[in-house]
Each structure stands twice: as C-alpha cells, then as structure tokens.
Amino acid sequence: MVSQTPTPNDGSPPPITPGGTYSIQTVTVGCKIYIRRPGPNGETEERLAEILSIRDKPNNLYAKRNKPEADAPTKLEDQREYFVHWEHFNKRLDDWVVGSRLVLSRDLEWPRPKQPVTKKATPSKKPGKAPPGKAPRTQNLLKKATTNAALATSPTPAPSTPMLVDEYLPSPSPAPSLKRKTLHLPDDEEEEEEEEEEEEDAEGEDADAEGEMDVDGEGEVETFDLSMTEPAPELPPLSSFSKEKEIEKLRTSGSMTQSISEIARVKNLNRLQIGRHEVEAWYFSPYPKEYAHLPVLYICEFCLAFFPSPLMFSRHRQRCTMLHPPGNEIYRHEDISFYEIDGKRQLTWCRNLSLLSKCFLDHKTLYYDVTPFMYYVMAKRDSAGCHIIGYFSKEKESAESYNVACILTLPQHQRHGYGKILIEFSYELSKKEGKLGSPEKPLSDLGLLGYRAYWAETIIDLLLSTPESELSIDDIAQKTSITHADVMNTCSTLQLFKHYKGQHIICLNNAVLEKHQKTMAKKRRRIHPEYLKWKPPVFTRDQLRFGF
C-alpha cells in the first residue's frame, strides 16, 4: 500500500495511504490522520492531527467517578486511545482521543522515512596520534568519567527555573542515571567536539541506538545518581532497550528521566479540581504514575496536596488547618496579599506548587531542588481563607540579574489582570533592591505577551508624565528597573526611535498614544508601593548552599 523506498526529505510529499484501504490497527505513532473534534459553533469538524502516542484504554482504580454501570461490550476501536497534536493549533490543546473518532475514510499521511546516515570520509589516522587541536580519545573518555563522578558525589544543580520533583519519584528507571537539561548553552567548539566524538562512537550508526536520548540538541547534559535511599536494581543489557521503548515508557510512567523535546509533549493528567474550580491540564507534569490518567485529580488549594478520589480529598479537608500560603505576608491592599516563601524552609509546599504549575507551563525544565529560590505568592482573601491566584519565583542569587525565574497565573484566574500585577510586583521588589531586573528566558507565549504589554505601558506612561525633560534609555531603565535591553526592544517594537538631526530620539506617534489611552481607560488593579513591607533578604554562604 505504501512504498517502502526511502523518500528524500527535500520538500517532496510524504507517503499517503488512501482512505478506506487501511484499518485502525495500521495507524502508528508519527502518522497524520483526520480526527473528529467539536467545532467552534458546536458542530463536529474533521481536522488533521499527528499521532504522538498510543495506549490501551486505562483501567485506573479511581477512574470511575460514579457508580459502575452494567458492563457493555467495548468496540474494537474504543479499546485504544491516541494522544494527538492538532495541526495549526496551540500545543496546549493536545489531547487523548478514542479510536472511534479517527476518520478512516480519509487519507492517512505517513512520516517521512529517515535518510540513511552516511559516514563522512575522513583521512586515515595514524595510531597513537590525535588530530591537531583535539585531545586523544582516551583523555576524552577519562575527562567524561571524572566529570560524571564529580557530579554524582556532589549534585549541585545550576540555579534556574524551580520546577522539581523529589519525593514523588516512581519506581527506578532502567537507565542508570537521570538526565536533566540546563539552560546554559555550551560553546560552539565544545558542541562540535562532542558531535565528533559521538560520530566516532557510533561508527555510522544512530547515536541513540542504545537508548541514549537527545536533550534538545542544544542543552548541556548532566547525569545525577539519585538512588540514595535504596540500591539500584541490576540493570539489563543496554542492547535490550531501544529509543522507542524508552520514550514510550517515560511518556506513560511519569518518570523524571525524560527528554524535554520528545516526551513532555504527552500530558498525563486530564482535569484538576482546585478549590471550587475545575480546570483542564495543559501539559505534562511529573506527578506519580499512580495519579496519571485520572478523570480528576483533587488538589487542596491551601496546602497543595493532591488526592485521586473525592473521598480522600474530603477527609483531608477535615484535617487540613492551613488557610494561607506558609510564608510572611509582605503586602496587603484591599483583598490582595503577597506572601514571601523560602524554598529551603517550605520544601514540600514549594514542590507541590512546582508540580501544579508544570501542568500549565511547557517551556520550563524540571529540577529537583527548590532551595535556591524564593517564592512570591499572590492570594485573594475572603472569609474562607487566602486563595492562590498566581506566583513567581526568584533566585536568591542570580548571576544574570533575573528578577523572575518562573511566573504563572492559574488558568481559572486568567484574563482578570492578575498577570500584570505579578509583573509589576516583581519590579517593585527590584526597585527596593536598587537593581535592574528582567525575567528568565525563554518566556512562554502568554508570558511574553504579558511582559511586552507591561513594558510598553510603563515606558509610555513615564514618557507622558515627563513631557518637558529629556529622558535617555538609561534614565528610563533607572526609573522603572527595566533592563536596558528590554527598554530598547520595547521601543524598537513600538517604532519609537526616530532619526532627527544626526541623532536618534524617542518619539510617540499617534497610533501608540491612541492604543495607550484605550489601555489606561480600562480599570485594573495596581501595586501601591506604600503597602509593601519588605526588605531585601540577605543570605549567608550556608543558606545559599544548595543540595538535598
């Protein structure tokens, strides 16, 4: 039905199987097929989607929310579920669908076959001699071994986004070590040298043939031995593992040994109940595998503990005495409060917060330690307690002068202006510190929109409030605590720079002024600095020592 000859990946059309000539058993991971989904007007539409993962329909202990009805014979196509990415749709809409929604009467698009890797012709090497500018192979292997040994004895993660799991690791993975991706990019020369070493090791074969997984192709891979509580089981031979088996295992088990670029695409949770709100998870979050694929995961909105059934959750609520985030209240105005929480003192709560936020953040990498971070949680007060709206985390000591590591407004509170309050509050803290600040990159799509709107509104408001005085880029940065780079990018995006008499000036055009007036006409909450009771924390060397 489909030609097996490799199709060159040069823009030629992928292999197609005509509709009606294949069965549902033919559909595999990587195929693109039309699937029925609800349309914008309530009608059913057929849209092209890519199959990312296939599983048998889960039979979880807590999966049935109501009393089980009489068992009905299950159709063959409904015995399996498919995780799909809708073509031209945002990634957060990826979802599991049953087989009966697949349209088998339309064409099935197969992935393009990989081209065979041809080994580059290299000049013959004399034994005992290394190419100029490169260390001998034995020295490289020794260097790798000593580096891994040093990391295993003192696993100190580089400060970055505080997304972690430590207590909730499932059963040990077949891989002897856990991998994580750091956000620090290596030098080009080191990257080229590593690629050359991998080509020599593979000898013409795929570098991932024995279960090794790429980490985005641009991050630095480090290994950590996390088997501190119990000895690791005896490992089977590496030849029994393949990349496909490892990916599929990690997709479904919730393990932390995952490749961000390949496996985080498959979300493992359906819906979350947080207080009186029930929201749908957007992305993968490494909750324990026993909690995966539940219809609803119940989360306490005060202590952030999670439970698989409403009975267990109701029993917990009767015993839970927490009514606000476990930290110091540093800001209170009207019904909004901000709490400062040290990740080293409130490990469990901050870890639960990181698990929850990972359900709605896809661009952040998971880490195992929250101690390098301070958390600033925004809550809304009422007679029942302080309900979490959103938060941002901040490194205790940031070499790159980041004032935000991770920022999130929970989905049930979005589109109410709370995101700008979080951003404005982070810059008020920077003003108190007397520093310029910028959020950690990369930003999510929603985060980038929020920051661009705040930067534009703040800079234009400052320019309008000082019409007679001349303001330079440095003056704007010092008055707003926004870094020079962010000020320059914002002004360039708004096209505020004009060339006048041999020099560049900042000029507000009519379109920018009109848009700013519409924005200011909308009533929104603002941060009032006089209600902020906070001093920048000072940490000793022992308090900045990160570890488990």
**CA–CA separation, 131 and 118 (whole Å):** 21
**CA–CA separation, 396 and 341 (whole Å):** 12
Task: List the one residue out of 247, 305, 242 whose CA is nearest residue 273.
Answer: 305
**CA–CA separation, 409 and 405 (whole Å):** 14
pLDDT digits (tens, 9 = 90+) for 370-412: 888 999 999 999 999 999 999 999 999 888 889 999 999 999 9
pLDDT of 444: 82
pLDDT of 21: 92
Q: Give SS3 for 79.
A: coil
Where residue 159 falls among pLDDT bands split at 50, 70, 90? Answer: very low
Tokens of 464: 């309008």
pLDDT of 36: 93
Average pLDDT in the chain: 76
Range 25-50 average pLDDT: 91
pLDDT surpasses 80 at 130: no
- Contact 28/80 with Cβ under 8 angstroms? no
pLDDT of 290: 87
pLDDT of 215: 36
Range 141-170 average pLDDT: 46
pLDDT of 441: 86
pLDDT of 137: 52
pLDDT of 6: 43
Where residue 222 falls among pLDDT bands split at 50, 70, 90? Answer: very low
pLDDT surpasses 60 at 449: yes
| Helices 484-493 and 445-465, packing angle to 10 deg | 90
pLDDT of 74: 64
pLDDT of 414: 93
Q: Among the ranges 32-36, 128-132, 361-365, which has the highest mean pLDDT value? A: 32-36
Task: List the one residue out of 362, 349, 365, 442 whose CA is nearest residue 404.
Answer: 442
CA dihedral 541, 402, 156, 305 (to 10 degrees): 100
Range 429-458 average pLDDT: 92
pLDDT surpasses 70 at 260: no
pLDDT of 157: 41
Task: List the one residue out of 112, 110, 111, 107 whose CA is nearest residue 46.
Answer: 107
- Contact 378/416 with Cβ under 8 angstroms? no
Amino acid at 411: P
**CA–CA separation, 377 and 375 (whole Å):** 6
Range 48-71 average pLDDT: 70
Task: List the one residue out of 163, 197, 208 whose CA is nearest residue 182.
Answer: 163
pLDDT surpasses 50 at 211: no
pLDDT surpasses 90 at 534: yes
pLDDT of 245: 54
Q: Among the ranges 60-69, 120-129, 292-301, 468-477, which has the highest mean pLDDT value? A: 292-301
Where residue 347 falls among pLDDT bands split at 50, 70, 90? Answer: very high
**CA–CA separation, 31 and 52 (whole Å):** 8
**CA–CA separation, 236 and 243 (whole Å):** 15
- Contact 51/27 with Cβ under 8 angstroms? yes
Where residue 151 falls among pLDDT bands split at 50, 70, 90? Answer: low
Range 116-127 average pLDDT: 58
Range 283-303 average pLDDT: 91
Q: C-alpha angle with apex 505: 500 to 510, nearest 5 degrees?
A: 95
- Contact 532/428 with Cβ under 8 angstroms? yes
pLDDT of 198: 46
pLDDT digits (tens, 9 = 90+) for 241-259: 454 554 444 344 333 334 4
pLDDT surpasses 70 at 280: yes
pLDDT of 399: 85
Residue with the bigger pLDDT between 31 and 242: it is: 31
> Which of 195, 440, 457, 530 is an active site residue?
440
- Contact 81/99 with Cβ under 8 angstroms? yes
Residue with the bigger pLDDT between 293 and 61: it is: 293
pLDDT surpasses 70 at 458: yes
Q: C-alpha angle with apex 377: 374 to 378, nearest 5 degrees?
A: 150
Query: Could you confirm whether 440 is annotated as catalytic?
Result: yes
**CA–CA separation, 543 and 397 (whole Å):** 11
Task: List the one residue out of 352, 333, 311 whose CA is nearest residue 341.
Answer: 352
Range 96-118 average pLDDT: 86
Q: How far is CA 124 from CA 121, 127, 129, 200, in A?
A: 9, 9, 11, 13
pLDDT of 410: 96
- Contact 304/279 with Cβ under 8 angstroms? no
Range 181-189 average pLDDT: 42
Q: Give SS3 for 221.
A: strand
295-299 CB contacts, 8 Å cutoff, 24+ apart: 295/63, 295/65, 295/270, 295/271, 296/65, 296/270, 296/271, 296/272, 297/269, 297/270, 297/271, 297/272, 297/273, 298/273, 299/272, 299/273, 299/274, 299/356
Dihedrals phi, psi of 453, to nearest 5 degrees: -65, -40
pLDDT of 490: 94
Q: Percent of the chain, pLDDT > 90?
A: 43
Q: For 396-533, where are the E strands, in sequence order? A: 402-404, 406-409, 438-439, 497-500, 503-506
Range 254-267 average pLDDT: 48
Residue with the bigger pLDDT between 45 and 40: it is: 45
Q: How far is CA 177 from CA 47, 183, 226, 355, in A?
A: 40, 19, 7, 22
